[in-house]
Amino acid sequence: MAVIGSRGSLPINFSTPGLVGLALSYAAPVVSLLGSFLTSFTETEKEMVSVERALEYMDVPQEEMDGFQSLHPSWPYQGQVEFHNVTLRYKPSLPAALRDVSFTIEGGMEVGHMLSLMLKVFSAGLLI
């Protein structure tokens, strides 16, 4: 700006260092504002692409279920899980968290996360 101003192409004289500093201090927020605008525009564009993809997936017809077979008539409709005298610990070096526990979960019963924890401990080989 100082070079352009000294050549006389601008109507404002930028020959003094104070005016150059003032012009630069006013130009910096404008550049920051333009950068923020471009960032917001880019984010909005990305979000709109996501919406377009979701709308496209909503219009995709459901696939045929080729090869789907119904269950064999002898397949059990109700199951049962039994634990007999089970002792579990979190780590081999820790004391037992459950000792000699026995219980039965009948078919159709709702069970919380404890069963999944016990099955993970059992499958990890931490069962005594």
pLDDT tens-digit profile of 39-97?
999 999 999 999 999 999 888 888 877 776 777 777 777 788 888 998 888 888 889 98
User: Residue 126 pLDDT more than 60?
Assistant: no
User: Residue 98 pLDDT more than 60?
Assistant: yes
Predicted pLDDT at 16 = 79
**Distance from the first to the final alpha carbon of the chain:** 81
Cβ neighbours of residue 98 closer than 8 Å, sequence gap 6 or more = 86, 87, 88, 118
Residues 10-17 have a mean pLDDT of 67
Predicted pLDDT at 112 = 65
Residue 128 resides in a domain: no
Predicted pLDDT at 2 = 42
Residue 15 resides in a domain: yes
Prediction pTM value: 0.34
Residue 89 resides in a domain: yes
Q: What residues make up the domain containing 36?
A: 2-58
Predicted pLDDT at 14 = 63
Residue 71 resides in a domain: no
Which structure tokens are listed for 128?
Answer: 């005594």
Residue 68 resides in a domain: no
Q: Distance between CA 5 and CA 39 in Å, rounded?
A: 32
Q: Which of 43, 58, 73 is the endpoint of a domain?
A: 58
